[in-house]
Amino acid sequence: WTTMGDDVEAILRLKAERNAVILAHNYMRPEIFHGVADIVGDSLALARKAVDVDADVIVLAGVHFMAETAKLLNPSKTVLIPDLRSGCSLAESITPADVRALRAAHPGVPVVTYVNTSAAVKAESDICCTSGNAVKVIESLGVPKVIMIPDRFLAANVARQTGVEVITHPGACEVHERFTPLDIAQIRTDYPGVTVLAHPECPPEVVDAADYAGSTAQMVDYVDAKAPTQVALITECSMSDNVAQLYPEVDFVRPCNLCPHMKRNTLGSIRHALETMTNEVTVPADVAEAARRSVERMLAIGA
Ligand code: 13P
Ligand code: SF4
């Protein structure tokens, strides 16, 4: 068998040999996040950083839609994903045909699509958003009504913040939909004075019960700016583990739900992808152009 140290050493060597960089989402295990990643961040940061990569190979330690987005934005690079089965309950909830049906039912209403979707769904959309810029993207359109897909909770949370009427789709993140207001009440009872930060993929009642809602990177920014004594991050399990190492003076309460798709990324699967140069993610040419346009419109907003 190999130890974690062997895998880290091999990955660092392979990165140099292959001229590869590892872009890792905030939900990666600490040994990936702190041990081998070159760039870490939320979905928005990873998309932005993918544009500027000039290495030959990008290993996207995250889920499939993130690898597709990196490929869309930097098509000449070889994009690998440690495990091709790393999906997402949101991306799987919606098809291009669903988007066409929504458009037909609501003619003229712009389609704003969460990045947690396939490139084929992005190709049917007008503009993308992430949890970090959804409000800015919606406000940039200057319209009273949008189709915002596929996360019904993110859509409901954004509708309340913007006053824009939102037509949505019954998708949800299997990690965040499981949190309840009762969970938050219990945390506040157990840890009086705790600061509660929730992800906007949580149901609106959970966001209401929290002190702040934001993307994973916005949660880190909040901890950095406000230096709370004790904090509960209402999101995926690895988030607290990773951020706690960056802020040892902050006490992290650890309520969490695990994302099985994110957890398919291991040191072993990253090493294997780099050793064998397998699990390449590509986007068919007939889809790529329109999908890229939706993502680039989002990035142009500068949110
Ligand atoms: P962000 O990191 O953009 O907040 O997204 C969270 C998430 O669930 C990604 O899959
Ligand atoms: Fe998808 Fe939720 Fe997992 Fe993110 S945490 S990849 S949104 S299922």
Q: Are residues 8 and 71 in the same domain?
A: yes
Average pLDDT over residues 148-159: 98
Q: Which of 174, 215, 235, 239 to mutate to test the pocket of ligand 2 (most atoms within 8 A of CB)?
A: 174
Q: Are residues 293 and 238 in the same domain?
A: no
Average pLDDT of the chain is 97
Q: In the predicted model, is pLDDT for residue 261 greater than 70?
A: yes
236 lines ligand 2 (CB under 6 A): yes
The number of the ligand 1 atom at minimal distance from the alpha carbon of 26 is 2
Q: Which domain holds residue 199?
A: 176-258
Average pLDDT over residues 179-190: 98
Q: Long-range CB contacts (< 8 A, 24+ apart) of 227-232?
A: 228/194, 228/195, 229/193, 230/191, 230/193, 230/194, 230/195, 231/194, 231/195, 231/196, 231/197, 232/187, 232/191, 232/194, 232/195, 232/196, 232/197
Q: Are residues 67 and 103 in the same domain?
A: no
266 lines ligand 2 (CB under 6 A): no
Q: Are residues 11 and 151 in the same domain?
A: no
Q: Residue 37: which pLDDT band, with cuts at 50, 70 and 90? A: very high
Q: Are residues 242 and 295 in the same domain?
A: no
Q: Residue 94: which pLDDT band, with cuts at 50, 70 and 90? A: very high
User: In whole angstroms, how far apart are CA 303 and each of 140, 144, 148, 195?
Assistant: 10, 20, 17, 25
Q: Which of 130, 261, 263 to mutate to test the pocket of ligand 1 (most atoms within 8 A of CB)?
A: 130
Specify the residue for token string 């157990």.
190
Average pLDDT over residues 175-189: 98
Structurally, the chain folds into a number of domains equal to: 3
Q: In the predicted model, is pLDDT for residue 33 greater than 70?
A: yes
Q: Are residues 43 and 81 in the same domain?
A: yes
* pLDDT value of position 303: 58
* pLDDT value of position 302: 80
pLDDT digits (tens, 9 = 90+) for 215-231: 999 999 999 999 999 99
43 lines ligand 1 (CB under 6 A): yes
Q: Are residues 100 and 157 in the same domain?
A: yes
Q: Are residues 296 and 149 in the same domain?
A: yes
Q: Which two tokens stand for residue 289?
A: 């152009």
Q: Are residues 162 and 296 in the same domain?
A: yes
Q: Are residues 55 and 96 in the same domain?
A: no
Q: Are residues 13 and 74 in the same domain?
A: yes
242 lines ligand 1 (CB under 6 A): no
Q: Are residues 188 and 168 in the same domain?
A: no
CATH for 159: 3.40.50.10800
* pLDDT value of position 87: 98
